[in-house]
Structure 1
Amino acid sequence: MGLFSSIFSLPLAPVRGVIWVGELIQDQVERQLHDPVALRSELEEIDSAAARGDLSVEEAEQAQRAVLERMTGSGVGPIDRKE
């Protein structure tokens, strides 16, 4: 029975491979989005851009809020999974 199931599931192997690669990419993106070091550097970059005058006060606050939502996980986005 194992031989028959192997033969019939062989055409699905590329699909399983693509799904596996997609899951790996998604995990890596989530790790980078929620990495404390990366989040801190983003906050520092926002502060320095605001100090240079590249961002208005409202834009800086909005950007900081978005980073803090990612940090706390309170934001709902396409990458957030409800499990």
Structure 2
Amino acid sequence: MGLISEVLLLPFAPVRGSAWVIEQVVREAERIYYDPATIQAELARLEKLLEAGEITEEEFDRLEDELLDRLETATHRSFGTDDRTTP
């Protein structure tokens, strides 16, 4: 049955291949987005923007909260305890 299903599904091979590529791109983007080193670098950049007067305290607080939430999610993901990110 494996050969028959492969022959019948052959016209859909480009779609399956495209789906696989998209899945790989999404995984890599998530890996970079939740990389603790990337988040820490963004926090440092954010602090420099505040010190330079390029953003307000309110903007800083809001953006810092978002980054800290990402860092917390990254920590949970690394330990496999975040149910929201389980495929």
TM-score bin, normalised by smaller chain:
0.7 to 0.9
Aligned-residue offset at 1:81 = 3.4
Partner of 1:36: 36
Question: Does 2:85 correspond to 1:81?
Answer: yes
Q: Pairwise mapping of residues 42-53 of structure 1 onto structure 2 (< 5 A)?
A: 42-53=42-53
Aligned-residue offset at 1:82 = 4.8
Q: Pairwise mapping of residues 1-83 of structure 1 onto structure 2 (< 5 A)?
A: 1-73=1-73, 81-83=85-87
State the superposition RMSD in angstroms: 1.8
Listed as ranges, the gaps of 5+ residues in structure 1 are 75-79
Runs of 4+ in 1 over 4 A off after TM superposition: none
Paired letter, 1:81: T
Per-residue CA deviations over 1:9-68 (Å, capped at 9, x if unaligned) read: 101111111110111011101101111110010000000000000000000011100001
Inter-partner Cα distance in structure 2 for 1:2 and 1:28 = 31
> Percent of aligned positions with the same letter in both sequences?
32
Query: Higher helix proportion, which one?
Result: 2
**TM superposition score normalised by structure 2:** 0.80
Q: How many pairs does the alignment contain?
A: 78
Paired letter, 1:62: R
